[in-house]
């Protein structure tokens, strides 16, 4: 679906340029005709964020507002004690299932929903920033082409008569800064809503299967644990241990493979670099959005719904599809490894393990935290089937090798299997094994 003016470069037509026909004033005239006070928009956005940046305050405010509508419970002494108990049990079991060393268990291993938002906010910002940079760069390119060598006086003349503008000299840098800030505010709004929604469902600090905190640590959210197990007719202690196993396994992986954070960020950056902007698409879809009441510049939250509705979702170029494939593969391998390690750690100790895994798979298929995030920001849908394939790959690999060899794959990014290799663990292992007899290679 064509996005809200954001389209990728067409690799089959390298000479094709974005549609920047018409003057800069003509472009803003269309927004002015919609009743938008452009000067007020510039003033409002100027305090929200800076170009190619994100507004942490806006993200936090919107996520907390979303959370407030759903409610949260404080952490009680009983919550903390129950969390410590299941975390200690899970940590002991994991020692037998992975070569990655244990992490120190925290005294404050139980989080409220609001504490989860605050502790992961910086990580979310780091992950989304490359997307903002890509869109801001695309904005700068198209407006530089549209503005050309226009002087400040000429820009002011083009804007004369638009709602909110009188005679003025308008610096080009101010216009570009406004558009960059506009993009930043849009993504900040969308990210805030997504984080607020996730806070009501994630079960721990690492439940999104992404390294979000500077210092990797394992923590659970008791309120969401209770909701997760509701209606399953499974003992709450088993539910707690199962989710603690997942949380601790993810934490050990992220601590042992610090390159994962940069790899995920690089994939998002590669995606963002392919974005192009089509002014005609922007104005046409803006008109439709305003006519339907979906978008209101005076209401930042309406921009959130515009984003989630796909108005800003770009079409995909080959470069972007490759970036998304790379990202999907990494996320599937993380999720699959966690599942495989939990199976090995739990073994026959959790009678309801099969039912717990089925519940987790249903949740991932319909309400995956990672799915919500990347679907809302870049339109990526991480296939549950891909995660199941990855889990089977790690289980098959272990049956042919050992824990140390399996976990060493995470030591460098170039060692992990490609999407094509997930279906044949034996072949992948052979490709990594040096024969005892090298005479055949001479």
For the stretch 325-334, pLDDT in tens is 888 899 899 9
**How many domains does the chain divide into?**
1
The torsion angles phi and psi of 288, rounded to 5 degrees, stand at: -65, -40
Cβ burial 364-377 (10 Å sphere, 16+ → b, else e): beeebbbbbbbbbb
Integer Cα distance of 298 and 181 in angstroms: 15
What is the total residue count of the chain?
442
Cα separation of 339 and 354, whole Å?
11
Candidates 26, 297, 20, 298; CA nearest to 160 is: 26
Model confidence at 6, in pLDDT bands (50, 70, 90)? very low
DSSP string spanning 48-103? T--TT---HHHHHHHHHHHHHHH---PPPHHHHHHHHHHHHHHHHHHTTT-SSPPP
Phi-psi region of 85 (alpha: psi -120 to 50; beta: other; left: phi over 0): alpha
CA–CA separation, 206 and 337 (whole Å): 14
- pLDDT tens across 315-326, in order? 567 777 888 888
Which whole number is the average pLDDT over 57-77? 91
Provide the β-strand partners of residue 204.
220
Cα–Cα distance, 243 to 207 (Å, whole number): 9
Q: Is residue 16 part of a domain?
A: no
Task: Please check the confidence at residue 149 and state whether its pLDDT lies above 70.
Answer: no
Determine, yes or no, domain membership for 424: no
Task: State pLDDT tens for residues 263-275.
Answer: 988 888 887 777 6
Residue 409 is assigned to a structural domain of this protein: no
Can you give the pLDDT at residue 45?
Answer: 47
| Residue 422 domain-assigned (yes or no) | no
Burial 268-290 (b: 16+ CB within 10 A, else e): bbbbbbbbbbbbebbbebbeebb
* Rounded CA separation 48/106 (Å): 35
d(CA 253, CA 258) in angstroms, rounded, equals 9
Mean pLDDT (the chain) is: 78
The residue range of the domain holding 73 is: 22-322
pTM: 0.79
Confidence of residue 208 (pLDDT cuts 50, 70, 90): confident
Q: Which of 17-21, 99-103, 179-183, 195-199 has the lowest mean pLDDT?
A: 17-21
**Residue 228 in domain:** yes
Q: What is the pLDDT of residues 161-194, one digit of tens each?
A: 544 455 555 566 666 666 667 777 777 887 888 8
Locate tokens 């940046």: which residue? 53
Model pLDDT, residue 9: 44
Is residue 114 scored above 70 in pLDDT?
yes
Q: Is residue 436 part of a domain?
A: no
Higher pLDDT, 188 or 345: 345
User: What percent of the chain lies above the pLDDT cut of 90?
Assistant: 42
**Structure tokens of 333?**
């391998």
Write out pLDDT tens, residues 364-410. Answer: 777 666 666 666 666 666 677 888 999 999 999 999 999 999 999 99
Closest CA to 53 of 43, 64, 65, 45: 45
Residue 288 belongs to some domain of the structure:
yes
């Amino acid at each position: 679906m064509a996005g809200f003016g954001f389209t990728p470069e067409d690799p089959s037509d390298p000479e094709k340029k974005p549609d920047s026909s018409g003057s800069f004033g003509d472009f803003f005239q269309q927004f002015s005709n919609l009743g938008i006070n452009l000067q007020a928009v510039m003033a409002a956005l100027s305090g929200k964020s800076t170009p190619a940046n994100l507004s942490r305050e806006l993200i936090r405010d919107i996520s907390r507002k979303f959370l407030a509508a759903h409610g949260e419970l404080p952490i009680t002494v009983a919550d903390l004690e129950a969390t410590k108990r299941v975390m200690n049990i899970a940590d002991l079991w994991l020692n037998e299932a992975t070569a990655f060393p244990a992490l120190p268990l925290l005294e404050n291993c139980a989080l409220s929903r609001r504490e989860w938002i605050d502790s992961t906010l910086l990580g979310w910002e780091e992950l989304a920033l490359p997307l903002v940079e890509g869109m801001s760069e695309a904005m700068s390119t198209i407006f530089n082409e549209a503005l050309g060598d226009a002087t400040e006086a000429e820009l002011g003349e083009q804007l004369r008569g638009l709602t909110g503008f009188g005679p003025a000299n308008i610096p080009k840098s101010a216009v570009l800064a406004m558009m960059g800030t506009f993009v930043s505010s849009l993504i900040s709004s969308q990210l805030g809503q997504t984080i607020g929604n996730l806070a009501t469902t994630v079960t721990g600090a690492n439940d999104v299967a992404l390294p979000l905190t500077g210092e990797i640590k394992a923590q659970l959210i008791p309120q969401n644990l209770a909701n997760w197990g509701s209606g399953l007719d499974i003992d709450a202690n088993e539910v707690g241990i199962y989710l603690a196993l997942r949380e601790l396994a993810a934490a050990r992986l992220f601590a042992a493979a610090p390159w994962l954070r940069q790899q995920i960020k690089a994939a998002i950056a590669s995606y963002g670099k392919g974005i192009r902007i089509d002014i005609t698409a922007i104005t046409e879809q803006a008109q439709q959005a305003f006519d339907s009441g979906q978008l209101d510049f005076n209401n930042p939250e309406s921009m959130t719904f515009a984003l989630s509705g796909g108005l800003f979702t770009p079409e995909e170029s080959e470069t972007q599809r490759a970036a998304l494939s790379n990202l999907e593969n990494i996320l599937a391998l993380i999720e699959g490894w966690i599942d495989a390690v939990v199976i090995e750690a739990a073994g026959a100790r959790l009678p309801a393990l099969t039912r717990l895994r089925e519940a987790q798979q249903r949740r991932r298929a319909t309400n995956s935290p990672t799915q919500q995030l990347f679907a809302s920001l870049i339109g990526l849908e991480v296939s549950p089937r891909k995660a199941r394939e990855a889990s089977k790959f790690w289980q098959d690999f272990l049956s042919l090798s050992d824990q140390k060899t399996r976990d060493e794959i995470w030591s460098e990014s170039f060692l992990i299997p490609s999407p094509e290799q997930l279906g044949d663990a034996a072949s992948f292992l052979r490709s990594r094994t040096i024969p005892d007899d090298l005479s055949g290679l001479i």
